[in-house]
C-alpha cells in the first residue's frame, strides 16, 4: 500500500513525528519556520493530509491548490483558522483536539483572574525596577476573589472546568451559553443560566471561553463593557476578536473597568500598542493550554486523528461528518 504523504506545518514533539512516521511519509518543520500562504500551498500540494496549528489559515484558495488533500488535523480545540465549509465541499475531513486541554486552559484562566485581581504582574515589575522602598497599609491593594460572583460566557467543557474551580473560592457562578446545562450539573457547579446583559451587570469577574465566529465577533465591545461594574475584571482565554480590543483599552484606561487578564488578541501576535501602557492589564501570549503534558497530548491527538482519517476510518474528533458525503472526484 502507498504510504500517505503528509505535512506537519510547525514544530511538534519527537514522539508525535515518530508516531506519524509509522504510517506516513512525513514532511515536517522542526525548524518551526513560519510559512507564508504561498509556501504553505507549495509544500501542501501533493500531500494527502496535514497537521496544522491555529496560525495556519486553511481557506478555499489553499484547498484549491491542494487537490489531493483528504484531511486537516488542527492542534487546537478552536478551529476558526479553518474554513470548514470549504473543506466539506471538497471532501476534506477536519479534526480538532477537544477534551485534552480543558483543565490546563481552565487553570490558566484562573491564573489570569488571580493575577489581575491581586496585581501580580504589576507588583513583579515594580520590584524588578527597584521601586519597593517601604511598606504601607494602603499599598497596591487588590480586590477579593473569594465570595465574588464569577460570570462565564461560553459554558462548554472548558467553561465548566473553570466553574468547577470556583467552589474553592466560594464563588457563585452565572453563565451564558447557547444551551442550558442540565439541572443536576447547574447544581453541582452552583451555576445559574442568565442573559448576557444580566451576567455583565452582576458579575465581578467575567471570563470568556467561547469559540470565535462571525456571530461572536466583538461580543464584548464598548456597549457591553459599559454594562459591566467599574470594579469588574475581564478575562479572555477564548480568541482574539471576541473582544473589541480598542474599546477594552479605552475602558481600562478610563477606569471604567478595574482590570483585565488576557491570553488572546485581535491580530495576534501583534498587540494593540494601547495595552502596553496599561498597568491594569495582565498580558499573556496565547499560552492557556501550554503545559508540557497538555501540549504533548494535543499534538498526539491531532496525529491520531490524521492517521485514522488517512486510513479511511472516522477520526475520533471529526468536525465535519458531511465531508464524507462529498462526491469529489479523487
d(CA 283, CA 275): 8
Cα four-point dihedral sign 70, 319, 54, 273: positive
The helix (H) or strand (E) run that includes residue 186 is helix 183-189
Q: How far is the CB of 288 from ligand GLV (least distance, A)?
A: 7
101 binds ligand GLV, rule: CB under 6 A: yes
d(CA 102, CA 305): 18
Please identify every residue annotated as catalytic: 239, 268, 286
112 binds ligand GLV, rule: CB under 6 A: no
Nearest to 315 by CA among 327, 326, 306: 306
Exposure class string for 301-323: b at 16+ Cβ within 10 A, else e: bbbbbbbbbbeeeebebbbbeeb
Name the one range near ligand GLV by CB under 6 A: 33-41, 73-81, 135-143, 150-158.
Answer: 73-81
User: What residues numbered 45-64 form the site for ligand GLV, per CB under 6 A?
Assistant: 54
Q: How far is the CB of 292 from ligand GLV (least distance, A)?
A: 16
Site map 120..159 versus ligand GLV, x via CB under 6 A: ----------------------------------------
Q: How far is the CB of 101 from ligand GLV (least distance, A)?
A: 6
281 binds ligand GLV, rule: CB under 6 A: no
d(CA 320, CA 77): 14
Q: How far is the CB of 214 from ligand GLV (least distance, A)?
A: 17
| Terminal CA-CA length for the chain | 17
d(CA 18, CA 110): 35
Q: How many residues bind ligand GLV (CB under 6 A)?
A: 6
Exposure class string for 262-295: b at 16+ Cβ within 10 A, else e: bbbbbebeebeeebeebebbbebebebbbbeebb
Options 17, 76, 82, 113; binder of ligand GLV; rule CB under 6 A:
76
Name the one range near ligand GLV by CB under 6 A: 22-30, 70-78, 141-149, 310-318.
Answer: 70-78
Q: How far is the CB of 277 from ligand GLV (least distance, A)?
A: 26
Name the one range near ligand GLV by CB under 6 A: 71-79, 139-147, 273-281, 303-311.
Answer: 71-79
Nearest to 265 by CA among 282, 247, 285: 285
Closer residue to ligand GLV in complex, CB, 87/145: 87
Residue 142: Cβ-neighbour burial (10 angstroms; 0-12, 13-18, 19+): middle
Q: How far is the CB of 98 from ligand GLV (least distance, A)?
A: 9
* Pair type for strands 173-176 and 191-193: parallel
Name the one range near ligand GLV by CB under 6 A: 76-84, 187-195, 221-229, 274-282.
Answer: 76-84
Closer residue to ligand GLV in complex, CB, 100/257: 100
User: What residues numbered 287-306 form the site for ligand GLV, per CB under 6 A?
Assistant: 289
162 binds ligand GLV, rule: CB under 6 A: no
Closer residue to ligand GLV in complex, CB, 228/238: 238
- Answer for the pair 94, 323: CB distance below 8 angstroms, yes or no: yes
Nearest to 252 by CA among 217, 225, 272: 225
Q: How far is the CB of 319 from ligand GLV (least distance, A)?
A: 13
Options 17, 77, 207, 306; binder of ligand GLV; rule CB under 6 A:
77
Q: What's the grid cell of residue 237?
A: 482565554
78 binds ligand GLV, rule: CB under 6 A: yes
Q: Binding residues for ligand GLV, per CB under 6 A? A: 54, 76-78, 101, 289
Amino acid at each position: 500500500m502507498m504510504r500517505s504523504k503528509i505535512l506537519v506545518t510547525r514544530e511538534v514533539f519527537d514522539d508525535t513525528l515518530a508516531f506519524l512516521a509509522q504510517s506516513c511519509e512525513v514532511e515536517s518543520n522542526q525548524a518551526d519556520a513560519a510559512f507564508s500562504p504561498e509556501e504553505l500551498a507549495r509544500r501542501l500540494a501533493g500531500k494527502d493530509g496535514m497537521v496544522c496549528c491555529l496560525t495556519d489559515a486553511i481557506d478555499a484558495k489553499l484547498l484549491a491548490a491542494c487537490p489531493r488533500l483528504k484531511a486537516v488535523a488542527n492542534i487546537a480545540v478552536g478551529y476558526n483558522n479553518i474554513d470548514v465549509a470549504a473543506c466539506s465541499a471538497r471532501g476534506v475531513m477536519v479534526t480538532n483536539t477537544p477534551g485534552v486541554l480543558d483543565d490546563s486552559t481552565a487553570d490558566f484562566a484562573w491564573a489570569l483572574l488571580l493575577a489581575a485581581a491581586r496585581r501580580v504582574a504589576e507588583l513583579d515589575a515594580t520590584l524588578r525596577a527597584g521601586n519597593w522602598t517601604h511598606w504601607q497599609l494602603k499599598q497596591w491593594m487588590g480586590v477579593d476573589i473569594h465570595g465574588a460572583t464569577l460570570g462565564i460566557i461560553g459554558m462548554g467543557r472548558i467553561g465548566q472546568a473553570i466553574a468547577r474551580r470556583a467552589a474553592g473560592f466560594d464563588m457563585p457562578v452565572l453563565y451564558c451559553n447557547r444551551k442550558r446545562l442540565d439541572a443536576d450539573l447547574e447544581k453541582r457547579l452552583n451555576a445559574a443560566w442568565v442573559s448576557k446583559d444580566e451576567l455583565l451587570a452582576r458579575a465581578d469577574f467575567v471570563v470568556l471561553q467561547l469559540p470565535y465566529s462571525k456571530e461572536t465577533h466583538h461580543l464584548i465591545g464598548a456597549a457591553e463593557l459599559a454594562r459591566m461594574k467599574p470594579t469588574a475584571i475581564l478575562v479572555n482565554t477564548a480568541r482574539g476578536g471576541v473582544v473589541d480590543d480598542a474599546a477594552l483599552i479605552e475602558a481600562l484606561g478610563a477606569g471604567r473597568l478595574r482590570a483585565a487578564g488576557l491570553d488572546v488578541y485581535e491580530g495576534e501576535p501583534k498587540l494593540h500598542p494601547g495595552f502596553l501602557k496599561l498597568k491594569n492589564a495582565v498580558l499573556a501570549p496565547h499560552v492557556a493550554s501550554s503545559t508540557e503534558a497538555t501540549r504533548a497530548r494535543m499534538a498526539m491527538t491531532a496525529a491520531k486523528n490524521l492517521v485514522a482519517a488517512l486510513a479511511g476510518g472516522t477520526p475520533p474528533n471529526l468536525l465535519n461528518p458531511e465531508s464524507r458525503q462529498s462526491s469529489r472526484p479523487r
